[in-house]
Chain A
Amino acid sequence: MSTLLDVKNLWVKFPTRNGIFDAVRGVSFSLGKERLGIVGESGSGKSMTGRAILQLIRKPGMIEADHISLHGQNLLDLPERQMRAVRGKQISMVMQDPKFSLNPVMTIGDQIIEAYRLHSRASKAEARAKALEMLEAVSIREPERVMKAYPHEMSGGMGQRIMIAMMLIPNPEILIADEPTSALDVSVQGQVLSIMDKLVKDRGMGLIFISHDLNLVSQFCDRVLIMYAGRVVEVCDADKLHQAQHPYTQGLLGSLPQFDAPRKRLEVLNRDPAWRDAPSVETGT
């Protein structure tokens, strides 16, 4: 499998009053044409990892890495102008809540068309046709009507599908999805996920799927990185997640209530300080 993205020894640092806080500590991984899950609890650095790839860490946060290469090109060497071209065109990102990502005073159609024309010099009519096509691709039934609607008229699931449509228009090679379904109801989650899955397969994209939900990731992804305190503690195939070796992963799984296997008490995760200090697990593709 060819490697699309290779991240080596990534650190994200934030200066605070009491010294430097490391949000991500030496994370390395590579991504091919696959669905890679990054799971962890809040504060584990999973979202920071996703944002650092696109250099979306706000000042005074700092990104350090040996390299973050996209097709051998180190993104860290690119000036901000070229980085802007990479964002969206080659790597896209879908955020958790579509409500905050869509402009409330523009119709959905106008927003998609604008996003498309930002990246290609297409005529308005071409962009419009493309937008309709994309809305159909994310299984929106009446794309003509949705084009004329404003974001507040959309439900959460619709909004998230529209976001995905927008992100996919420039035909990126990599999609980073940060908790894309956490704000949605279970039944809608399934629909959104299957759309993402289909697109990733059809277009041969690489997907980085960031989530706190272990069960979801194990069902949806090919490979999973488990992060704890800014490090990768374990990498495993998603379908073998339930045979995970690391005590942290086992603890997380054990603390989940299981619908079909009732227990009197849930396991409580005892955090071993040694997990913090152990080096990040390296991953081979």
Chain B
Amino acid sequence: MTAALEINDLSVYFGDHHDLFQAVKSASFTVEKGASFGLVGESGSGKSTILKALTGLAPQWEGHMSVAGRELDRKRDRTFYKTVQMVFQDPYASLHPRQSVDQVLTETLQLHGFSDINSRIERLLQDVGLGPAFRFRYPHQLSGGQRQRVAIARALASEPQILLLDEPTSALDVSVQAEILNLLSDLRAEHGLTYVMVSHDLAVVAHMCDQAAVMRNGEIVEIISIEDMRAGRTKHGYTSQLLQASVNRVA
């Protein structure tokens, strides 16, 4: 009963029946409560699609998914969104261009039925390392790192237990990436969060996660602990190939 997330035999499809494309092929994995789980693979391997199916953004799926012991239906309800939240890849695309930080957080908090909105916004901004000065700014007045912090604050607003991170730093500079990754580590420790992190960067996944699933062409080829990965104890050839490519960049 300590599994935060259980995915069993999940397949996800895109397109209509004439032109059906299977993006994920019977994937199964379990994430323990408080763990940090990575999904790695190249583009088109279906790693982000799993997150989409989980959050209901990709409605054509079959198989079993359960969050905190509750089996998921086709339709997600409020309780689901209170438990699971997501941070998107590109902070330049994930904030509404015409809404200030304050508007974004206020609406989110209202949707989740909180009433002490003012104090919550202040605390959220503090949690993600932005001062109160940022509260009334618009996205175009923020840098990429600051935007991603706002997106993290929005995801934390409903006090979720599970945070899905879809390449949260791949659009950022390395120095900003370090700040965001540190912030995510701190938040996980503070709030006891469970992370599922999608990334193409093995070094980032190795830094953040305890365990990772390696994906190729919609299939999970191997689930491997980070220690084994570091030591090169891979079971599947593709994993070692990925490892090789990310260490020796020039083939």
Question: In the complex, A267 Cα to B200 Cα: how many Å?
Answer: 21
Whether A257 and B204, one on each chain, are in contact in the complex, defined by CB atoms closer than 8 angstroms, is yes
A186 at the interface (CB under 8 A from B): yes
Whether B249 and A189, one on each chain, are in contact in the complex, defined by CB atoms closer than 8 angstroms, is yes
Return A253 CB to nearest CB of chain B, in Å.
9
Query: Which of A190, A263, A268 lies in contact with B249, CB distance below 8 A?
Result: A190
B247 at the interface (CB under 8 A from A): yes
Whether A190 and B251, one on each chain, are in contact in the complex, defined by CB atoms closer than 8 angstroms, is yes
Whether B245 and A186, one on each chain, are in contact in the complex, defined by CB atoms closer than 8 angstroms, is yes
Return B185 CB to nearest CB of chain A, in Å.
7
**Which residues on A sit within 8 Å (CB–CB) of B202?**
259
Whether A262 and B230, one on each chain, are in contact in the complex, defined by CB atoms closer than 8 angstroms, is yes
What band does the interface of chain A fall in when counting residues whose beta carbon is under 8 Å from B?
Answer: 35 or more
**Which residues on A sit within 8 Å (CB–CB) of B206?**
257, 259, 262
Question: In the complex, A41 Cα to B208 Cα: how many Å?
Answer: 23
Whether B245 and A255, one on each chain, are in contact in the complex, defined by CB atoms closer than 8 angstroms, is no
Q: How many A-B residue pairs have CB under 8 A?
A: 93
Whether A194 and B250, one on each chain, are in contact in the complex, defined by CB atoms closer than 8 angstroms, is yes
What band does the interface of chain B fall in when counting residues whose beta carbon is under 8 Å from A?
Answer: 20 to 34
Query: Which of B42, B181, B207, B250 lies in contact with A185, CB distance below 8 A?
Result: B42
**Given A186-B200, A193-B250, A194-B251, A262:B207 Cβ within 8 A:** yes
The prevalent SS among residues of B at the interface is helix
**Which residues on A sit within 8 Å (CB–CB) of B142?**
none
Return B209 CB to nearest CB of chain A, in Å.
11
Whether B248 and A255, one on each chain, are in contact in the complex, defined by CB atoms closer than 8 angstroms, is no
**Which residues on A sit within 8 Å (CB–CB) of B178?**
254-257, 266-269
Which of A11-19, A64-72, A208-216 lies at the interface?
A: A208-216
Given contacts A257-B208, A263-B207, 9 further A-B contacts (CB under 8 A): A186-B246, A190-B250, A193-B251, A219-B249, A259-B202, A262-B230, A266-B182, A268-B179, A269-B175
Which B positions have Cβ atoms within 8 angstroms of A?
42-43, 144, 173-179, 181-182, 185, 200, 202-204, 206-208, 230, 241-242, 245-251
Which A positions have Cβ atoms within 8 angstroms of B?
41-42, 156, 185-191, 193-194, 197, 212-216, 219-220, 251-252, 254-260, 262-263, 265-269
